[in-house]
Structure 1
Amino acid sequence: MLKEIIIAIQSYRQAHFFIQKHKLWKWIIIPGVVYAVLFCLCLYFFGRTSSEFIEWLSLKTGLPNWIAKKESGLLGFLFTLSGLFFLLMQMALYISLFKYLILIIGSPVFAYLSEKTDAISEGQELRFQFSEVKSDITRGIKVALRNAGWQILYSCFLLLLSIIPIVGWATPVMAITNECFYYGFSMIDYSFARKHKGTASSNYFITHNRGLAVGNGVIFFLMHLVPVLGWVLAPAYAIIAATFSMRRVREKPGILDNKK
């Protein structure tokens, strides 16, 4: 798994030089700016609603009054930390839902970028066929919705777990790892769609090669730590890097050989 993560991380460097060499900036900047604006709106609405939700939950459960009656400094400290981790889990779930919305909205651009990257790398001209692009877009939306469903279930479980003192402190790391995997999953699936492989083949490969998905998602996540510029570049870099990751492992026998 570590080797696969390294391949996925190195692919971002390849993606950067590839974009520079072939002057693909218009396919990076325009959708990236749209993504950055929507991401800012996501953070704004999260800030408006998260504190209100925590206040409502506290009143409904009566936890603050119960802790005050116990007059235990340690108990108060533990639940304060639990509240912090609960807030972090809220943010993770909120941003995850936003990213899947972007995956659905941006699927035409992602499908095109994946196709174009592979065509240029193989020294071929990209032959635009609306039927194939439409099929890739439809598949991308289905995969995004499927992954969103699984991640929501997993995140809700972690959200409840985060309330428990000490036990719940590991939930942010678990949530981020889970998010990175499913985001990378969606990016890598475009390579299988391009080769007309079924979702069963894609699911099997990515499940058994989790490092490629996790590595792709980790760098995507870290790029968000760079305000504005990172937000603009992250989506397109992720899809191009995922395409290069699959080209690196394509030489392994059996990966894209069957039609299932």
Structure 2
Amino acid sequence: MLKEIVTAIQSYARAHRFIREHRLWKWIIVPGIIYTLLFLAGMYFFWISSNQFVSSFNHWLGIDRWLHQQRSPILSFLFLMGEIMVRLIMMLFYFSLFKYIFLIIGSPVFAYLSEKTEAIMEGKDFPFSFKQLMADILRGIKLALRNTLWQSVYTISLLILSFIPIVGWVVPVTTLLVECYYYGFSMLDYSCERHKLSPSESIQFIGKHKGLAIGNGMVFYLMHVIPFAGWVLAPAYAVVAATISLYHRDDKVGIEQA
């Protein structure tokens, strides 16, 4: 798995050179700007709602009053750290839902970008079919809903664990790895559907190559550390990098050789 994670990370550098060489910027910038605007609006409303949720939850349980009565710096510190962990888990959970909505909206562009990337690498073209495009979009929506369901189950379970002092401190890391896997899964699936893998076959294939999915998602999230530029480039770079990582997997060409 570690080797595949490294391959996925290296694919982002290859993606940058590929995009620059073949002048694919219009397929990168336009969806990236839309993503950034939605991201900023979404995070603003999330931050307001999360503050209200955490405060109301603490007041309902009486944690704030109990801590005031205990007058213990250690307990206050532990519960403060727990509150921070809860906020992080909530942020990742919200971002996950936001991400799938954007993936559904942007699926036609991302599917085309993945197809164009592979077509250039292999020196051939994939014939355009509107019927196939609609089928791909429908498939993408179904898989996005499936991934949303499973990821929500994992995240809610981890959210419950995050309320446990000390134990909950490692939960955000676990949640982030789950996030990375499911985002990378969506990016890799564009290539899987183009190679006629059924949804169940795609799930099985990507499940065998979790490192590629996790590595792709890791860099996608790390790009958000860079304000604006990273947000604009992250979604489309992830698509191109995922396509390239499958192409260069173990120096083999094509998913058929999995």
TM-score, structure 2 normalization: 0.96
Counterparts of 2:220 and 2:178 in 1: how far apart (Å)? 13
Q: Residue type of the partner of 1:11?
A: S
Displacement, 1:249?
A: 2.1
> 1:125-140 to 2 correspondence within 5 Å?
125-140=125-140
Look up the match of 2:48: 48
Look up the match of 1:76: 76
Deviation track 1:76-107 (CA, whole Å, cap 9, x = no partner) reads 11111111111111111111111111111110
Counterparts of 1:47 and 1:179 in 2: how far apart (Å)? 19
Q: Is the 8 A contact 1:184 1:215 kept in 2?
A: yes
Alignment CA distance shift 1:254-1:103 (3 Å): closer
User: Secondary structure of the equivalent of 1:101?
Assistant: helix
Q: Is the 8 A contact 1:158 1:175 kept in 2?
A: yes
Counterparts of 1:62 and 1:141 in 2: how far apart (Å)? 42
Once structures 1 and 2 are overlaid, which stretch shifts more, 247-256 or 193-202? 247-256
Give the aligned length.
Answer: 258
Once structures 1 and 2 are overlaid, which stretch shifts more, 62-71 or 98-107? 62-71
Counterparts of 1:250 and 1:142 in 2: how far apart (Å)? 30
Once structures 1 and 2 are overlaid, which stretch shifts more, 154-163 or 235-244? 154-163
Structure 1: 4+ residue segments shifted above 4 A: 250-255
- What are structure 1's unaligned runs of at least 5 residues? none
Counterparts of 2:93 and 2:254 in 1: how far apart (Å)? 36
> 1:90-239 to 2 correspondence within 5 Å?
90-239=90-239
Alignment CA distance shift 1:194-1:182 (3 Å): same
Counterparts of 2:153 and 2:134 in 1: how far apart (Å)? 29
Q: Residue type of the partner of 1:47?
A: W
Displacement, 1:70?
A: 2.3
User: Secondary structure of the equivalent of 1:164?
Assistant: coil
Displacement, 1:126?
A: 4.2
Displacement, 1:10?
A: 1.1
Q: Percent identity?
A: 52
Counterparts of 1:97 and 1:38 in 2: how far apart (Å)? 12
What RMSD in Å do the two structures reach over aligned CA positions? 1.6
Once structures 1 and 2 are overlaid, which stretch shifts more, 128-137 or 27-36? 128-137
TM-score, structure 1 normalization: 0.95
Counterparts of 2:63 and 2:26 in 1: how far apart (Å)? 52
User: Secondary structure of the equivalent of 1:98?
Assistant: helix
Deviation track 1:128-161 (CA, whole Å, cap 9, x = no partner) reads 2112222221111111111111111111111111
Q: Is the 8 A contact 1:192 1:256 kept in 2?
A: no
Counterparts of 1:184 and 1:155 in 2: how far apart (Å)? 17
Q: Residue type of the partner of 2:68?
A: A
Displacement, 1:115?
A: 0.9
Counterparts of 1:166 and 1:64 in 2: how far apart (Å)? 19
Counterparts of 2:106 and 2:46 in 1: how far apart (Å)? 22
Counterparts of 1:132 and 1:249 in 2: how far apart (Å)? 26
Q: Is the 8 A contact 1:250 1:256 kept in 2?
A: no
Counterparts of 2:121 and 2:74 in 1: how far apart (Å)? 59
Q: Residue type of the partner of 1:34?
A: I
Q: Residue type of the partner of 2:192?
A: F
Displacement, 1:252?
A: 5.1
Q: Is the 8 A contact 1:119 1:126 kept in 2?
A: yes
Q: Is the 8 A contact 1:197 1:256 kept in 2?
A: no
Look up the match of 1:66: 66
